Amino acid sequence: MLKMKKIGFMVLIGMVISCVSLLAGGEQESSADEKVTLTVWDFKYSEEVVGSALKDMDTLYMTANPNVEIIHVAQPHDNYYEILAAAMGSGTGPDVIMAHTDQRIWNMDEFLLPLDSYIADWKDDISDSAWAASSSTRESDRNIKLVPLTAQGLGIYYNKANLEKAGVDPEDDFSDWNTFLAACEKMKSAGIPAVVMGNGGQPYGVDFAYRTFLANFYGPELTGFSDGTANFTDDAFIEASRILKTLFTKEYVITENATMPYFMDAIEIFKAGEGGFFFGLTSDIAHWKDFGDAFGYDNLGYLPSINSAKAKYRDRQSNQGAGIGFAVIKNSENIETAVDYLKEYVHGESANLFLTRTGAIVPNKNLPIENESLAEVVGFMSNNGVPDFYVQLDAAFGAELYNYFQLFFLADEITLNEYIEKTQKAYEQNL
């Protein structure tokens, strides 16, 4: 009797384990039919403006392709790449993913479909610099892994009305460092925050300011930060650090910057009409459209960078080539549909919708540019573009660099020499 009970119990355990294994095995593939379901993961889909634009772009595609259903999933921005890595590592990822064109996605390069052969027919519609940024080897003619959705860069916006309130002529040439400093001093005296910056959590304010300054100090040689030919001990980097630090020591940067997140608190403060200068983006968010819509295009000024006497170059525009794009996962079962979907995203009605609704610069050469502020920004990006500093860095070191930004610029706990020494050491460890 006891033996029967024991056997019965073991059979029961076996059945439970089998059931668990079967359920853990995941869903079975549905039977073959004409309908294609494309799953897209995105870290911007939950944003009000960008999300609604992407939704409408999906609707346009599904209307034109009734056999395609797009399941567009909003993923959290903060740990997006960890989620991606886990999904792709376990083979459970989507068909299409959004990604930044930096080391964070190139760490997962092996999961991405090479797009070179798929984009051959329409490659010329998109700028070469955008393709280069979308290539895992930074070459515009090979190893293309992303379809670029935005062309991204960094620059300096200013509120002319506030400058005028402080007694500054808004038509002055603020690209001159001394003129810029003088304007900041007048604004400080007038009780207006000279530079609105957000460094709470992650010091993006410092990061973006650096990228604009270093554009003039290094120019095209910024690529040297990807292979060790440029160093943090260079005179150029030291001088850029010194002048950026000046903004903090002279208290030109808004007092609350250390705990104010860049996204979205600092952006909203500048949009609300506070402050003189803001280190922003050229595309996507914190850009010409955000600020122009907020306090008027007539009030909005733009500079690509500040010209320092010790900088090798002048008026250089930090240009990532592409800011964000979409990649197709290698083991997707709907590759042709996925590539076609991405092609439509950056052409025609969809691309125009994205540009006009969000202000993001879509790197399609054929898109009309009707806004003057946008034309000014695009002009700098096309004619004065140099590589972006931060995207050259190893992902691990890039994150660590933020810790040193905090110590030197925000907490003011280390000297310039200590800062340079520590960053160089960490840089070399991660090369």
Partner 1 sequence: MLKKKMMIQQEQSDAYILLLPLLLLMVVFIVYPVLANFYYSLTTWKGFGTEIWVGLKNYRRVFHDDKFWYSLKNLGVLVLYIPIGIFIPLLIAAILREGLKGWMFFRSVIYLPTILGYVILGTLFSIILSQSGPLTEMLKMMGVEDANKINLLGQSRSAIHVVALLFVVFSKLGFGCIYFLAAMSSIDSSLYDAAAIDGAGWWQRFFSVTVPSISFSMQFFLVLSFIEVFARMYSFIYTLTYGGPGFATYTLEFGIYRQGFQAFKMGYASSWAVILFVFCSLIAALQINILKKGDQLK
Cβ atoms of residues 172 and 179 within 8 Å: yes
DSSP-assigned states of every residue in 333-382: S-HHHHHHHHHHHTSHHHHHHHHHHH-----BTTS----HHHHHHHHHHH
- Binding mask 46-85 toward partner 1 (x if CB under 8 A, else -) reads ---------------------------------x-xx--x
At 288 the three-state DSSP class reads: helix
Q: Quick one: residue 56, left, alpha or beta (phi over 0 = left, psi -120 to 50 = alpha)?
A: alpha
Which residue, among 142, 250, 260, 155, has the nearest Cα to 201 in the 3D structure? Answer: 260
Find where tokens 């009780």 sit. 191
In the complex, the smallest distance separating the C-beta of residue 261 from partner 1, rounded to whole angstroms, is 9
Site residues (CB under 8 A) for partner 1, limited to 410-429 = 410-411, 413-414, 422, 425-426, 429
Binding of residue 204 to partner 1 (CB under 8 A): no
In the complex, the smallest distance separating the C-beta of residue 87 from partner 1, rounded to whole angstroms, is 10
Q: Which of 88, 222, 267, 386 binds partner 1 (CB under 8 A)?
A: 88
Q: Which of 10, 272, 369, 431 binds partner 1 (CB under 8 A)?
A: 10
Binding of residue 11 to partner 1 (CB under 8 A): no
Identify the H or E element spanning 276.
none
| CA distance from start to end of the chain | 69
Binding of residue 201 to partner 1 (CB under 8 A): yes
Binding of residue 266 to partner 1 (CB under 8 A): no
Site residues (CB under 8 A) for partner 1, limited to 16-45 = 16-17
In the complex, the smallest distance separating the C-beta of residue 207 from partner 1, rounded to whole angstroms, is 14
Strand residue runs (E) in 149-276: 153-159, 195-196
- Judged by beta carbon, residue 335 or residue 407, the one nearer partner 1 is 407
Cβ atoms of residues 285 and 294 within 8 Å: no
- Judged by beta carbon, residue 16 or residue 272, the one nearer partner 1 is 16
Q: Which of 198, 200, 304, 363 binds partner 1 (CB under 8 A)?
A: 200
- Judged by beta carbon, residue 36 or residue 395, the one nearer partner 1 is 395
Angle among Cα 326, 338, 287 to the nearest 5 degrees reads 25
Binding of residue 190 to partner 1 (CB under 8 A): no
- Judged by beta carbon, residue 10 or residue 375, the one nearer partner 1 is 10
- Judged by beta carbon, residue 183 or residue 393, the one nearer partner 1 is 393
Bridging pattern class, strands 147-148 and 96-100: unpaired
In the complex, the smallest distance separating the C-beta of residue 149 from partner 1, rounded to whole angstroms, is 23
Cβ atoms of residues 284 and 354 within 8 Å: no
DSSP-assigned states of every residue in 237-254: HHHHHHHHHHHHHTT-B-
- Contact positions vs partner 1 (CB under 8 A): 2, 6, 9-10, 13, 16-17, 79, 81-82, 85, 88-89, 107-108, 110, 200-202, 255-256, 258-260, 395-396, 399-400, 402-404, 406-407, 410-411, 413-414, 422, 425-426, 429
